[in-house]
Structure 1
Amino acid sequence: MLWNLSICFTSFVFLLGVSVSLFTAGVWSLLKEVTFFVEWEVVSLQSMSVVMTFLFDWMSLIFMSFVLLISSLVIYYSEEYMGGDYNINRFILLVLMFVLSMMLLIVSPNLVSILLGWDGLGLVSYCLVIYYQNVKSYNAGMLTALSNRVGDVALLLAIAWMLNFGSFNYIYYLEAMSGTWEMELVGVLVVLAAMTKSAQIPFSAWLPAAMAAPTPVSALVHSSTLVTAGVYLLIRFSPLIEGEAISTFLLLISGLTMFMAGLGANFEFDLSKIIALSTLSQLGLMMSILSLGFYKLAYFHLLTHALFKALLFMCAGAVIHNMKDSQDIRNMGSLVSQMPATSACLNVANLALCGMPFLAGFYSKDLILEVASLSYLNGLGFFLFFFSTGLTMCYSLRLVYYSITGGFQASACHPMNDEGHIMLRGMSGLLFLSVVGGSVMSWILFPTPAMVCLPIGLKTLALTVSLSGGWLGYELAKFKVGEEAKSMRGYGFVVFVGSMWFMPFLSTRGVSGAPLGLGNRLVKSMDQGWSEVFGGQGVFSGLQEASCLNQWLQDNNLKVYLTIFILWVIILVGLAVV
């Protein structure tokens, strides 16, 4: 047990120290406008050399510091949450491998090394999703892995196309080649890869399914690592998505993802899946403002979102841990009297998610909505931005009503309390950052104040929509339909909206029924059927038999052949006489 405690605490202290150092270096790099390229010659053979390039600028350094900070607190939190696991060492090592893959992705200006980090994230995430070994986890892991393979193939095609430029270091060609159709094709492939990793429509089904992983993993995945990799990659490739067609397409897809996730979270009763759908909604917000050309705003929201989303998942994990693994919010209620400290952290994270003034989420969300109001948006885009903001407040207040307030729904002999001191310490660090992180990062990233001049109606629209959404969510949570017939009338709509527009069915049954089923039949009939007889294996078997016969004939001497010949002559003569 001492070894288990030491590996968690040692990892926590080490990652926290590196995080503080990287943040200091990132702020210095931003203020001094300094960028470092570090090249390491891995191998040199004849005239060919394999060189690994690392890019250290303010963006990569600050993002790495945030990833390591959240990872350190999540590992410290895991010491108690995963305390009953005999293989906690293996779990911590998997998490560290996950973080290492993300580090490689962040500092790579090279598509090949990006693919190494990208595939490392996919492989380790599969191992973490199936960590609890049951059928549901296996299915979720397979859905996660296969969905992300689409993005891996897109990245491989982009690497192949980069051969046209003589180097895989894309960062040198973004500005000079951004208008050419060759680089536009690379941009399209990168957008496809980012859509799969950040779970945009139609690849959204794997994100809620990945909740089969342990809660500390979900806190890490949904805040700063796996799902944010696609957004970070697009921020790096932002000059390529300034074209009208690709930016309009990305705006539509991300806006619909934001709308779909916000609507689905209002019909969900699983605590983890509600928070997962809120992650999906925020990813759509980052992608949509990125498609409008404001990559720095998307990066800002990426950082602030990481803080309160990690806290939200850690609070959910503490509640689930105390509820003895029950995740249904209808079984909760009055948690504020049972777990006051955890409820306070959950409320702060929820309010930061909604964009409550002067919490972390306010500084980025409010700025994004105001800049979107200033941009050239059509009616649909404007509606998706603001309506999705209202939906965020709606499901957040619904979650508060079901879990924190209301009547006590658990059994009388319940074990719920706030005595998980290690988990509370981990949450307290993120609680402080969720309050002050947004303002500090806004002062660092935007040192020069910018005035956003809007009419009073547009200026207060975000606040109005949020308050309206919160009131609607609270009223709908209290609403109980007495007559079953009335509630069953809209059953088809509820199923459609609550199942993410049938995407889980399309991603599982649709894929396994048609393409994968057809592939299985082709393998059985062709690769393992006719090709075995007439293909390479069949030719090999025929040649082997002929060679054995020839060898047998070569091994015998003339006496044997003469004896056989005489016997055949005697038999033929005898048959002729008869």
Structure 2
Amino acid sequence: MCFISFIILFMISMLCFYLSLNCLLFDSVTFIEWEVVNLNSSSIVMTFLWDWMSLLFMSFVLLISSLVIYYSREYMSSDFNINRFIMLVLMFVLSMMLLIISPNLISILLGWDGLGLVSYCLVIYFQNVKSFNAGMLTALSNRIGDVALLLAIAWMLNYGSWNYIFYLELMKMDYEMMIIGGLVILAAMTKSAQIPFSSWLPAAMAAPTPVSALVHSSTLVTAGVYLLIRFNMLIDGTWMATVLLLIGGLTMFMSGLGANFEFDLKKIIALSTLSQLGLMISILSMGFPKLAFFHLLTHALFKALLFMCAGAIIHNMNNSQDIRSMGNLATHMPLTVSCLNVANLALCGMPFLAGFYSKDMILELVLMSYTNYLIFFLFFFSTGLTVCYSFRLVFYSLTGHLNCSSMHYLSDEGWTMLRGMMGLMIMSIVGGSMLNWLIFPVPSAIVLPLFLKLLTLFVCIVGAVSGYTISNVSIYFNNKSLLLYNVSVFSGSMWFMPYISTYGIIVYPLKLGMASFSGMDQGWSEYAGGQMIYYLLSKYSNYYQIMQGNNLKFYLLTFTLWMVMFMVLSVT
């Protein structure tokens, strides 16, 4: 089933890519309306939007999905229920397809909820307590966005149709449309895990690694950014854009800082996803939706590759994810490590790899834009932190000394996994330049002073040197400073957001429920209700029993009086 799914998805991906090239070349958009049900004067119509953006995004999602399924053929080979796993992944991809091609809020909600429900099933796939907790956190965080979309659907009734694409430009300063824009931003923030909804993204690492590769590259977390790209007209130039810019910058900074204190291999890559999502949302809120979309596509390629390489390494390390137990893997797993290095360098923005074209353009446009010092600092410091944790990962896993058991069997995984990784490695090398030519056919010359032009390169070099050197030094010098320890705990725990999202939200309602239960259910309502009635009935029953017990004369007298009263009343 894996191989058949791979072939079908790959062929559809190539078809979508060809159609997107046609749309770009002829500047065409196809709008399809399918009448599902027609009953009397009512009709239910499904609408689909085929333009260059939706088709290009679909082709990338399907390409990555096909390679991930091919990779799962070996990665999940020991699973007895592998066909069930593949079916879940295909449902996940289908939900994403529905979301991408929908210009209608109702059908977007179908895809949006499909992603949420199937992601819950995939996160709890390895059935243990950690997976269940992570799945519940993921599902409940995303429910906030679902409710925001439902409210947006209710507000769209003001316009007589849910096809938002007809109204965006015409009604963008309308009060109702501003409310819809705010609700869409809230929905996108939950799905793309922006502050304060960030804690579910690293928790979702409980899912199998192929699922992580799919979720963190092109499907679940990118749905929010894609929705904002479609609704960018409502955000541009408003106060909501300023708030979104700040939130995106803080998310980028927080996740970059947290990744430098993390030792779980998958969590480091998850936090790097969070950082890149913050970057996309920040540049989108500055008024560059095409550039955000460009980075969305390039990021999808190298992030899927990073997770696939991480999965191969975890398999070899006897299911250990701690980077401190790795080291000198380049000697034992040269092909896997080569793929990991390419993905890592693309993430850092190494010239002429996929990430360079989008990240470099983003940072240069930030230098050209009217931004304050805070936003400038968040963009460039976060870029430095990205390179810092990437080279920290290089030090701990690829160079240094081998820290695992002496009785190990480290080698490159089977060819099925390697083929899947090498397919994405090629795309991580050539994908950026190819997309640059397609999305921006006219070359953009960004003219800046020499020190600003070289600032990006300088920040990357300083970040790389810092990451590698600090990792090297920290092995030999164990720091006992309480201040630095507190900083590392605060940063490494994502500014305590997982605690706030779980314990912080649960504890007060539970305490209130306990007070209500003991004070009302087991207190006054019980005393004045059930218990009081029971007490009074018991008391009067005992009284009547004493009166009537062993006293035949009294019993007959009361019976006679009752009969007389009954006859008098019946006559009247």
If the length of structure 1 is used for normalisation, what is the TM-score? 0.90
Equivalent in the alignment of 2:551: none
Please state if 1:365 is matched with 2:356.
no
What is the Cα deviation at residue 497 of structure 1? 0.5
Alignment-mate amino acid for residue 393 of structure 1: V
Please state if 1:387 is matched with 2:378.
no
Q: Which one of 237, 261, 264 corresponds to residue 270 of structure 1?
A: 264
Equivalent in the alignment of 2:425: 431
Give the direction of change, closer, same or farther, for the CA distance of 1:313–1:371 in structure 2 (3 Å limit): same
Contact 2:294 2:435 (C-alpha < 8 Å) held by counterparts: yes
Q: Which one of 233, 241, 245 corresponds to residue 239 of structure 1?
A: 233
Provide the rounded CA distance (Å) in 2 between the counterparts of 1:406 and 1:288: 36
Give the direction of change, closer, same or farther, for the CA distance of 1:244–1:420 in structure 2 (3 Å limit): same
Please state if 1:568 is matched with 2:562.
no
Equivalent in the alignment of 1:4: none
Q: Which one of 214, 217, 242 corresponds to residue 223 of structure 1?
A: 217
In structure 2, the residue corresponding to 1:54 is in which secondary structure?
A: strand
| Gaps in structure 1 of 5+ consecutive residues | 1-6, 539-563, 574-578
Give the direction of change, closer, same or farther, for the CA distance of 1:175–1:470 in structure 2 (3 Å limit): same
In structure 1, the residue corresponding to 2:36 is in which secondary structure?
A: strand
Provide the rounded CA distance (Å) in 1 between the counterparts of 2:523 and 2:432: 62
In structure 2, the residue corresponding to 1:348 is in which secondary structure?
A: helix
Equivalent in the alignment of 2:348: 354
For residues 282-334 of structure 1, the C-alpha deviation after alignment (integer angstroms, 9 at most, x for no partner) is: 00000000000000000000000000000000000000011111000000000
Please state if 1:156 is matched with 2:147.
no
What is the Cα deviation at residue 100 of structure 1? 0.4
Alignment-mate amino acid for residue 569 of structure 1: T
Q: Which one of 24, 29, 45 corresponds to residue 23 of structure 2?
A: 29
Provide the rounded CA distance (Å) in 2 between the counterparts of 1:530 and 1:234: 51
In structure 2, the residue corresponding to 1:486 is in which secondary structure?
A: coil
Provide the rounded CA distance (Å) in 2 between the counterparts of 1:357 and 1:211: 30
Equivalent in the alignment of 2:448: 454
Q: Which one of 281, 287, 306 corresponds to residue 275 of structure 2?
A: 281
Alignment-mate amino acid for residue 149 of structure 1: R
Contact 1:207 1:276 (C-alpha < 8 Å) held by counterparts: yes
Equivalent in the alignment of 1:316: 310
What is the Cα deviation at residue 244 of structure 1? 3.0
Equivalent in the alignment of 1:193: 187
Contact 1:183 1:240 (C-alpha < 8 Å) held by counterparts: yes
Q: Which one of 7, 12, 36 corresponds to residue 13 of structure 1?
A: 7
Equivalent in the alignment of 1:548: none
What is the Cα deviation at residue 491 of structure 1? 1.3
Provide the rounded CA distance (Å) in 1 between the counterparts of 2:350 and 2:258: 22
Alignment-mate amino acid for residue 8 of structure 1: C
Give the direction of change, closer, same or farther, for the CA distance of 1:522–1:142 in structure 2 (3 Å limit): farther
Give the direction of change, closer, same or farther, for the CA distance of 1:518–1:39 in structure 2 (3 Å limit): farther
Provide the rounded CA distance (Å) in 2 between the counterparts of 1:565 and 1:215: 86
Equivalent in the alignment of 1:147: 141
Equivalent in the alignment of 1:325: 319
Equivalent in the alignment of 2:166: 172
Equivalent in the alignment of 1:501: 495
Please state if 1:77 is matched with 2:77.
no
1:38-77 to 2 correspondences below 5 Å: 38-77=32-71
What is the Cα deviation at residue 412 of structure 1? 1.2
Provide the rounded CA distance (Å) in 1 between the counterparts of 2:323 and 2:468: 14
Contact 2:209 2:311 (C-alpha < 8 Å) held by counterparts: yes
In structure 2, the residue corresponding to 1:371 is in which secondary structure?
A: helix
What is the Cα deviation at residue 18 of structure 1? 0.2
Alignment-mate amino acid for residue 89 of structure 2: V
Equivalent in the alignment of 2:570: none
Provide the rounded CA distance (Å) in 1 between the counterparts of 2:439 and 2:30: 19
In structure 2, the residue corresponding to 1:204 is in which secondary structure?
A: coil
Identity of aligned residues (%): 69
What is the Cα deviation at residue 515 of structure 1? 3.6
Give the direction of change, closer, same or farther, for the CA distance of 1:480–1:434 in structure 2 (3 Å limit): same
What is the Cα deviation at residue 481 of structure 1? 6.9
Give the direction of change, closer, same or farther, for the CA distance of 1:108–1:413 in structure 2 (3 Å limit): same
In structure 2, the residue corresponding to 1:227 is in which secondary structure?
A: helix
Contact 1:115 1:155 (C-alpha < 8 Å) held by counterparts: yes
Q: Which one of 195, 198, 202 corresponds to residue 204 of structure 1?
A: 198
Provide the rounded CA distance (Å) in 2 between the counterparts of 1:449 and 1:199: 33
Please state if 1:335 is matched with 2:329.
yes
In structure 1, the residue corresponding to 2:480 is in which secondary structure?
A: helix
Greater displacement, 363-372 / 481-490: 481-490
What is the Cα deviation at residue 30 of structure 1? 1.2
Contact 2:333 2:411 (C-alpha < 8 Å) held by counterparts: yes
What is the Cα deviation at residue 243 of structure 1? 3.1
| Gaps in structure 2 of 5+ consecutive residues | 531-554, 565-572
Give the direction of change, closer, same or farther, for the CA distance of 1:358–1:333 in structure 2 (3 Å limit): same
Equivalent in the alignment of 2:177: 183
For residues 325-352 of structure 1, the C-alpha deviation after alignment (integer angstroms, 9 at most, x for no partner) is: 1000000000001100000000000000
Q: Which one of 64, 74, 82 corresponds to residue 88 of structure 1?
A: 82
Alignment-mate amino acid for residue 132 of structure 1: F
Q: Which one of 459, 462, 467 corresponds to residue 473 of structure 1?
A: 467
What is the Cα deviation at residue 181 of structure 1? 1.6
Provide the rounded CA distance (Å) in 2 between the counterparts of 1:524 and 1:203: 33
In structure 1, the residue corresponding to 2:220 is in which secondary structure?
A: coil
Please state if 1:443 is matched with 2:434.
no
Alignment-mate amino acid for residue 179 of structure 1: M
Contact 1:131 1:137 (C-alpha < 8 Å) held by counterparts: yes
Provide the rounded CA distance (Å) in 2 between the counterparts of 1:283 and 1:270: 20
Q: Which one of 97, 105, 108 corresponds to residue 114 of structure 1?
A: 108
Equivalent in the alignment of 2:123: 129
Q: Which one of 288, 291, 294 corresponds to residue 294 of structure 1?
A: 288
What is the Cα deviation at residue 487 of structure 1? 4.0
Provide the rounded CA distance (Å) in 1 between the counterparts of 2:379 and 2:72: 36
What is the Cα deviation at residue 419 of structure 1? 3.8
Q: Which one of 486, 494, 500 corresponds to residue 492 of structure 1?
A: 486
Equivalent in the alignment of 1:550: none
For residues 165-214 of structure 1, the C-alpha deviation after alignment (integer angstroms, 9 at most, x for no partner) is: 11111110000000112111111110000000000000000000000000
For residues 466-504 of structure 1, the C-alpha deviation after alignment (integer angstroms, 9 at most, x for no partner) is: 000000001110113767563444211110000000000
Provide the rounded CA distance (Å) in 2 between the counterparts of 1:390 and 1:36: 42
Cα RMSD (Å) of the superposition? Answer: 2.3
Contact 1:481 1:487 (C-alpha < 8 Å) held by counterparts: no
Give the direction of change, closer, same or farther, for the CA distance of 1:524–1:156 in structure 2 (3 Å limit): farther
Please state if 1:421 is matched with 2:412.
no
Equivalent in the alignment of 2:552: none
Alignment-mate amino acid for residue 10 of structure 2: L
Q: Which one of 406, 414, 417 corresponds to residue 412 of structure 1?
A: 406
What is the Cα deviation at residue 534 of structure 1? 12
Give the direction of change, closer, same or farther, for the CA distance of 1:485–1:239 in structure 2 (3 Å limit): closer
Give the direction of change, closer, same or farther, for the CA distance of 1:509–1:419 in structure 2 (3 Å limit): closer
Contact 2:312 2:413 (C-alpha < 8 Å) held by counterparts: no
Provide the rounded CA distance (Å) in 2 between the counterparts of 1:168 and 1:380: 38
In structure 2, the residue corresponding to 1:37 is in which secondary structure?
A: strand
Alignment-mate amino acid for residue 325 of structure 1: N
Contact 1:262 1:388 (C-alpha < 8 Å) held by counterparts: yes
Give the direction of change, closer, same or farther, for the CA distance of 1:131–1:524 in structure 2 (3 Å limit): farther
Provide the rounded CA distance (Å) in 2 between the counterparts of 1:197 and 1:528: 41
Contact 1:271 1:316 (C-alpha < 8 Å) held by counterparts: yes
